[in-house]
């Protein structure tokens, strides 16, 4: 098993450019797995973890409903936002500045072959990170992601998740609101779930801004423990 994970922080990067890069890494791992099987080889498959912030963008998963986007292209353009239909699970979501987006591109054969466990571990990584800021968060039954005040009229989502997997190789991932402009969530029905609010870490802490680098480090620390991974940081894409 190769539990080394190469971590790259791409900074602020266009959604489509990042998606293409994800696909490149994803395909590289899949091709190597197919070659291993075809040629009876045992070459190590790589594991990646990408951090990124995106300019304002809305993405719709393959099972999503376009009616959950509440505005047209003209309004999006006026707000400086773009829209993409993509190949992850889940419905509609928003990415933008002040949000930490993480894309683990892992060969789960190197860890465990269980997508349910994989999602729960990503959620736990976020839950443990938020706990370090004194925020009690949890899972909401039947709803992927991380929430606050589940089961109350004040339930609100702080982290969305949507993944794709093929031959146990993952892509896409999670989006944690840290200093997010929550006004952009008003232009959609987040994740297709009506009547549920969205929040951000800075709002919950009553701060203008939370240190993004610090949050990323905490997330990575918990990821490393949960996945028993050896982290290797790469400074450039």
The per-residue pLDDT for range 141-182, each reduced to its tens digit, is 988 899 999 999 999 999 999 899 999 999 999 999 999 999
| pLDDT at res. 27 | 97
What's the chain's average pLDDT?
A: 91
**Alpha carbons 11 and 13: distance in angstroms, whole number:** 6
Q: For residue 184, give Cα distances in angstroms to 71, 79, 87, 148, 194.
A: 11, 9, 22, 20, 16
Q: Token pair for residue 139?
A: 């899972």
Answer yes or no: is pLDDT of 94 > 70.
Answer: yes
Q: Rounded to whole angstroms, how far apart are CA atoms 95 and 57?
A: 5
* Number of domains present in the structure of the chain: 1
Mark the binding-site residues, compressed into ranges: 88-95, 160-162, 173-175
Active-site residue identified among 7, 127, 189, 191: 191
With a cut of 60, say whether residue 69 has pLDDT above it.
yes
Q: In the prediction, which pLDDT does 192 show?
A: 53
Phi-psi region for residue 53, left (φ > 0), alpha (ψ -120 to 50) or beta? beta
pLDDT of residue 191: 55
173-190 tens-digit pLDDT? 999 999 999 988 888 876
Question: Is 191 known to be catalytic?
Answer: yes
Q: Determine the structural domain holding residue 118 and report its residue range.
A: 4-234
pLDDT at 166: 94
CATH code for position 189 = 3.30.930.10
Query: In a 10 Å sphere around its CB, with 0-12 CB exposed, 13-18 middle and 19+ buried, how is residue 217 labelled?
Result: exposed
Buried b or exposed e, range 61-97, using 16+ CB within 10 angstroms: beebeeebbeeeeeebeeeebbbeebebbbbbbbbbe
pLDDT at res. 174: 96
User: How does pLDDT run across 10-66, given as a tens digit for each residue?
Assistant: 999 999 999 999 999 999 999 999 999 999 999 999 999 999 999 999 888 877 778
Q: Residues annotated in the binding site for substrate, as ranges?
A: 88-95, 160-162, 173-175
pLDDT value at residue 193: 57
- Look at 22-26, 88-92, 195-199, 215-219 and tell me which has the smallest mean pLDDT: 88-92
Average pLDDT over residues 214-219: 98
At 142 the pLDDT is 85
Q: What pLDDT score does 190 carry?
A: 61
Percent of the residues in the chain that have a pLDDT greater than 70, as a whole number: 95
């Amino acid at each position: 098993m190769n539990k080394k994970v190469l971590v790259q922080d791409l900074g602020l990067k266009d959604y489509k450019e990042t998606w293409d890069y994800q696909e490149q890494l994803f395909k590289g791992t899949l091709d190597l797995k197919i070659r291993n099987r075809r040629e009876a080889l045992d070459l190590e498959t790589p594991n990646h973890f990408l951090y990124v912030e995106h300019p304002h963008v809305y993405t719709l998963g393959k099972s999503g409903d376009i009616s959950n986007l509440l505005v047209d292209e003209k309004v999006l353009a006026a707000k400086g936002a773009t829209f993409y239909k993509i190949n992850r699970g889940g419905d509609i979501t928003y990415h933008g500045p002040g949000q930490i987006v993480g894309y683990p591109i892992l060969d789960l054969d190197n860890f465990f072959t269980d997508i349910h466990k994989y999602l729960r571990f990503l959620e736990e990584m976020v839950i443990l990170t938020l706990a370090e800021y004194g925020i009690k968060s949890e899972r909401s039954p039947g709803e992927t992601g991380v929430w606050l005040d589940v089961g109350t009229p004040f339930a609100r989502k702080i982290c969305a998740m949507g993944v794709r997997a093929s031959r146990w190789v993952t892509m896409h991932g999670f989006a944690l609101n840290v200093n997010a402009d929550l006004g952009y969530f008003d232009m959609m029905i987040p994740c297709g779930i009506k009547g549920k609010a969205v929040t951000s870490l800075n709002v919950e802490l009553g701060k203008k801004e939370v240190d993004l680098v610090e949050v990323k480090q905490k997330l990575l620390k918990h990821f490393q423990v949960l996945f028993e991974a050896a982290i290797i940081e790469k400074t450039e894409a």
